[in-house]
Amino acid sequence: MTLNCKGSLLDLTRPKVMGIINVNYDSFYAGSRFQSLDEALEVAGRMLAEGADILDIGGMSTRPDAPEISISEELGRVEEVIAAISSSFPEAIISIDTYRMEVARGAIEAGASMINDISAGRLDPNLPLLAAEYGVPYIMMHMRGTPMNMKHLTQYDDLILEMVDYFLHLTARYKSLGVQDMVIDPGFGFSKNLIQNYELLDKLEVFSLLGYPLLAGVSRKGMFWRLLNSSPGEVLPATCAAHMAALERGANILRVHDVAPAKQVIAVYEQLDNRKGEDNC
């Protein structure tokens, strides 16, 4: 299983790590916010040195209740950063985290080679078409509503079944539109309550059966710090535990704030997986 990122093939035979770089002032985890170009370049270099396979650049927070900013402001935050990272680290695979076509186009022209859309094309139907136009991988996430109201939209008759139907419909539709490479992100924390997040983690392997790469984005989320009466800055151990659970259930990509710990989790997972293979010989 591979993703074609503007000519660079990302082999998903082994799990990959996507490092989060937020160029904004209000993402939920303060440690992921970088306002200056120098800061963003420094953290990009560090993440790549620690083994990040993808860098995910976002200019607008999508935490619960996060307000929208203008398209021009969002694009202004990410375009220069992506161009600088692409110039300084030409081999880096850069993803643009946006649900707006205009921002994604500017980011791709600046050097991004992947689109990460939390709305899966619901908030801007032109975004999947842009992925088809440029031939870049398209990450589609499950979310109801918008970041402003999603926390109130958590009523499901059958969470997993409804999500499977959601992805079956969208992957078929976008494939017919010419999107070549798609990645499924179940959307932990997006229009899901605490109990639902753990149901989703427990049953994550269901989504790998759809035949597309699976991204798990659980890093430092409220499903840990609310459970533990803690804060985003104090739940790295819980995040690592969930990363192991996600890998065991078929996750191909971990979207993380902390690259080095995630690489350690993958190393342990792969060692255990290799032993399983040996035991079955």
For the chain, what are the domain ranges?
15-144+151-279
**pLDDT, tens digit (0-9, with 9 covering 90-100), for 214-236:** 999 999 999 999 999 999 999 99
Q: What letter would DSSP give residue 214? A: B
Q: Give catalytic status of residue 221 as yes or no.
A: yes
pTM of the model: 0.93
pLDDT tens per residue across all 281 residues of the chain:
899 999 999 999 999 999 999 887 655 555 555 667 888 899 999 999 999 999 999 998 877 777 788 999 999 989 999 999 999 999 999 999 999 999 999 999 999 999 999 999 999 999 999 999 999 999 999 999 888 888 888 999 999 999 999 999 999 999 999 999 999 999 999 999 999 999 999 999 999 999 999 999 999 999 999 999 999 999 999 999 999 999 999 999 999 999 999 999 999 999 998 877 666 65
Pair 198, 223: CB distance under 8 Å: yes
Angle at 212 between CA 203 and CA 63, to 5 degrees: 65
Other C-beta atoms lying within 10 Å of the C-beta of residue 230: 12
Pair 167, 161: CB distance under 8 Å: no
Of 100, 105, 144, 255, the catalytic one is 255
What class, spelled out in words, does domain 15-144+151-279 have in CATH?
alpha beta
Q: What are phi and psi of 40, to 5 degrees?
A: -65, -40
The whole-angstrom separation of Cα 209 and Cα 149 is: 30
Of 77, 100, 220, 221, the catalytic one is 221
Q: Give catalytic status of residue 105 as yes or no.
A: no
